Amino acid sequence: MKVNYKQIPVMGTNCYLVWDEFTKNAVCIDPGFAGRKIAIDIQKFGLKLKSIFITHSHADHVSGIDDMCAAIETVPVIYMSKLEMMYEDFPFKKQWGHSCHKRYWEEYSMVVIDSMQFKVIPTPGHLPGSVCIITNKYLISGDLLTNDSIGRTDFIGGNVNDMFFSLEKVLKLSDSLIVLPGHGAVTTMEKIKNCNPYVKRIFRKI
């Protein structure tokens, strides 16, 4: 399995491409505002985009979907949470996903694409439908947590109690996991547990 990512200057969102080395079938995670740039990478690496995974539906994670699909002339499957659909009145909701088929995380405990297995973990707090995804040695954390921070809960749909519960659940995972966050530097679960000031404060590790 190969992983490639871009950090987009607009809001600093990390957008990930994950693919099977042999079949070249690929998944894009949180295309953000980078749809056209990711399409260039898909073509450069000779990939076939099969699915788009959405950790949550804030604009900085989803707005590039239709541009990307138009550029590569494909109709992938979007996996997202049903709970995100309650925000249909958000202005950005009208701007993405029209060219794709939608599936919902609640219907799958695991998504398998060739040799790649993606386990979905519901992690509400930042938004009710937020998820983290485990694949191979990686944790794709969305906006739940980053190297030195945690997700905000002051947006519509945010919930502090849910955030604490989700953090407690994810922080029980293996220290060896490489964390691919929605923003900021790639890190490890061990480093987050030992160095993230918010995590240490919340769980009284200082």
In terms of phi and psi (left: phi > 0; alpha: psi -120 to 50; beta: otherwise), the region of 30 is left
C-alpha span between 89 and 45 (Å, rounded): 37
Number of compact structural domains in the chain: 1
Confidence class for position 25, pLDDT limits 50, 70, 90: very high
CATH number reported for the structural domain that contains residue 97 in this entry: 3.60.15.10
Residue 67 pLDDT greater than 70, yes or no: yes
Confidence class for position 85, pLDDT limits 50, 70, 90: low
Enclosing domain of residue 53: 2-202
> What is the pLDDT, as a whole number, of residue 64?
85
Tell me if 65 sits within 8 A of 35, measured CB to CB. Answer: yes
pTM: 0.89
**CA-closest candidate to residue 65, choices 46, 84, 39:** 39
Per residue in 130-164, pLDDT tens? 999 999 999 999 999 999 999 999 988 899 999 99
